[in-house]
Structure 1
């Protein structure tokens, strides 16, 4: 009997829909990263306040509180249609910023308002695209498909950050935003090329005669479904804690670290951001090439490495050493988040996927909370002490979660470790 063929990183691209969704996700992620870097630097330079920088970064996650309703909408109207509408909204908002910038009317107040509106929709993008991947891909290709999908964010943080920094530094914010609008428009068009069922789960026999459940009931069912599935609950607690204590150090606070700790400019910020993404990209590609992984065990090991690396990063004083730490942090973060997504998608039945990913996006609310707290702490005790507190505290709480649900996450025979 011949051995099974090794998984191919390109296998998901044999599916027609995936060949359209992947570049659409890529362009959206590029635009996200360009916007985050450009506007973060703009706010820091114009206001000179790390607290306002963290407020701005937090505004991008307002929508995490309503993310489950996006999941309900996706389950009802189809994840493809919802994703296309969301990306069209990004294009409209970016066009408003472009118009203000080119007309010389842009100021931090307008940036905060538009960031808040964008923040209602944008946090749900990752969850809806994940649900769409699970809908269009065969079960046996799900790990590879999610891993390759993750590369859209990784490459975006490399190319998007560097190109955004370059365009901003050389041409100014207006021309840079023209490029961002173009990316959003092309992404919307590619998303519409995906052919997916309008309704992910057909109604059963006689269901057409019964009244359709209300969106609120759908939401309650989704939350209950997650809460009564131990491995899902454990994964979501891990995701919440990572957003609360890990991502603030390598995301929203990076402009502050670049300017105040390392004394570098927009280009240096781009290098720092790209370093994290390079490590994440390597992790995504590596996982797409390896079969038979016990994903829950991988998630645990990667989480420990992630926090350990962030603890070292908080002590760094130069750009090269910080870049090395961020690269390793990105690698472990990628393994952790992909494993977590696979656990959720494998555990979720098809007609609950949108709601499960909506609840998953809701836990991102930990990120703005972590950012706001970090902004105040940095003013009091400095960046290094704040980073040390976040890394050590996060690791301790993470181990508590893992120990509590060890029967669902660690045994080889546990469903979360199914190959």
Structure 2
């Protein structure tokens, strides 16, 4: 009997596509963490400006507005092809940075320019990899698959952060970036091997947005039953009617309308934007500032803090992979979100590296519970024909990082990190409770589709 048969938590590895996707996502996540750490520290040291650090971090999310279109293309041509092309772009940009570093021509302006190009594509990676899992994984295994998929990001954050800091400190920028470029190249090759037959549609998926139909420009409503070829691009192509295939913009409009008319999906999108606006900037983009100005340590200390957050998240992912079948996703998402903000508030007032490491482990644990249950709920309750677009729209919420980081820079310069973090956490908690009350029948009621086990 194989290990995947003996251990239920490993059941997703019975799917061939997942066996290739897991190491591909691992290599990409490892490269992401190394790259963000290396370049963030480089910009801060070379410019000596927290404002430039926030600009660099913001540029990595500049393409968030394009995420829904990546979802449209995934629904049209396949998520595997879109994800492979995206990762080929990462490899090309990393190779360019590696070349500049080896020749001694690298400067902050070039780093910011390349970060801007990278930022056009990178925000959509998580949404596309989640959509690919949903495309190939049977519905009963989605929670376990998402938990295991999340471990690729968290374990990579631990190893990538510590390795990135160590490589730069011992070998320099050029050799460190050669590792990043190699990881991206490996991820491209493995991603091409994913895909295959689609998983069977989830009978519990919410099709209200489909059956209700969408309004056309003339104001009339049309339903999926009435015009199946116009609704779903794959149907038109399979029928050999290429002219019936709608434009990408129409696909996008239909995806937006589907989210808008499905209450629990709309609530999740609001929460996702709130998290990116008020929570993620505090322990992602601004962490180099905390290390340098509050803890008074170097990039090695930064690596320890990033790794501690990832280790806590890894523990959360392991816990969910083992017990995920007994969890009410929407309820767990709300409860863990409140705990997440509480831990961020505690982190804002830590003054020493050791205490910061301990608190960030709890931050990572609660954040992981929130994100995994959110992703699993989206995959379970979204109609299969809209899955790529919904995940693309979900990644649109990452755009909240941009104003969150840009506003935080001047606030920290004037009031300091603790007061700024307190303000962000209070706002986040208040709006989380407001969203939970506003959509309580869709997020808290046990019989709600969002709480299906």
Question: What is the TM-score of this pair, normalised by structure 1?
Answer: 0.97
Please give the residue correspondences for 1:43-58 in structure 2 after superposition, counting only pairs within 5 Å. Answer: 43-58=43-58
State the match for 1:417 in structure 2. 451
Please give the residue correspondences for 1:4-403 in structure 2 after superposition, counting only pairs within 5 Å. Answer: 8-196=8-196, 202-203=234-235, 206=239, 208=241, 210-290=243-323, 291-403=325-437
The structural deviation recorded for 1:201 is: 7.3
Q: Unpaired segments of 5 or more residues in structure 1?
A: none
Preserved contact between residue 235 and residue 343 of structure 1 (Cα < 8 Å) = no
Preserved contact between residue 304 and residue 395 of structure 1 (Cα < 8 Å) = yes
Write the distance in 1 (CA, Å) between the matches of 2:239 and 2:49.
60
Deviations 1:19-45 (A, max 9, x none): 000000000000000000000000000
The structural deviation recorded for 1:399 is: 0.8
Preserved contact between residue 51 and residue 376 of structure 1 (Cα < 8 Å) = yes
Q: Compared with structure 1, are the counterparts of its residues 176 and 402 closer, same or farther at alpha carbon in structure 2 (3 Å cutoff)?
A: same
Write the distance in 1 (CA, Å) between the matches of 2:341 and 2:363.
8
Preserved contact between residue 265 and residue 378 of structure 2 (Cα < 8 Å) = yes
Question: What is the TM-score of this pair, normalised by structure 2?
Answer: 0.89
- C-alpha RMSD of the superposition: 1.6
Deviations 1:355-386 (A, max 9, x none): 00010010100011101111110001001111
Deviations 1:251-310 (A, max 9, x none): 000000000000010100000010110010110110011122101110011001000000
Deviations 1:187-208 (A, max 9, x none): 1000111133599974167562
Moved more, 93-102 or 338-347: 338-347
Preserved contact between residue 232 and residue 343 of structure 1 (Cα < 8 Å) = no
The structural deviation recorded for 1:87 is: 0.5
The structural deviation recorded for 1:118 is: 0.2
SS of the residue 1:316 aligns to: coil
Write the distance in 1 (CA, Å) between the matches of 2:47 and 2:314.
33
The structural deviation recorded for 1:341 is: 0.7
SS of the residue 2:241 aligns to: helix
Preserved contact between residue 61 and residue 119 of structure 2 (Cα < 8 Å) = yes
State the match for 2:207 in structure 1. none
Write the distance in 1 (CA, Å) between the matches of 2:359 and 2:263.
33
Moved more, 225-234 or 200-209: 200-209
Q: Compared with structure 1, are the counterparts of its residues 209 and 29 closer, same or farther at alpha carbon in structure 2 (3 Å cutoff)?
A: closer
Deviations 1:129-177 (A, max 9, x none): 0000001101100000011101111011100000000001111111000
SS of the residue 2:36 aligns to: helix
Preserved contact between residue 127 and residue 358 of structure 1 (Cα < 8 Å) = yes
Q: Compared with structure 1, are the counterparts of its residues 88 and 414 closer, same or farther at alpha carbon in structure 2 (3 Å cutoff)?
A: same
Q: Compared with structure 1, are the counterparts of its residues 8 and 365 closer, same or farther at alpha carbon in structure 2 (3 Å cutoff)?
A: same
Moved more, 86-95 or 189-198: 189-198
Q: Compared with structure 1, are the counterparts of its residues 415 and 198 closer, same or farther at alpha carbon in structure 2 (3 Å cutoff)?
A: closer
Preserved contact between residue 81 and residue 198 of structure 1 (Cα < 8 Å) = no
Q: Compared with structure 1, are the counterparts of its residues 273 and 240 closer, same or farther at alpha carbon in structure 2 (3 Å cutoff)?
A: same
Preserved contact between residue 33 and residue 157 of structure 2 (Cα < 8 Å) = yes
Equivalent pairs counted in the alignment come to 415
Q: Unpaired segments of 5 or more residues in structure 2?
A: 200-231
Moved more, 257-266 or 186-195: 186-195
Q: Compared with structure 1, are the counterparts of its residues 19 and 190 closer, same or farther at alpha carbon in structure 2 (3 Å cutoff)?
A: same
The structural deviation recorded for 1:392 is: 1.3
Preserved contact between residue 244 and residue 370 of structure 1 (Cα < 8 Å) = yes
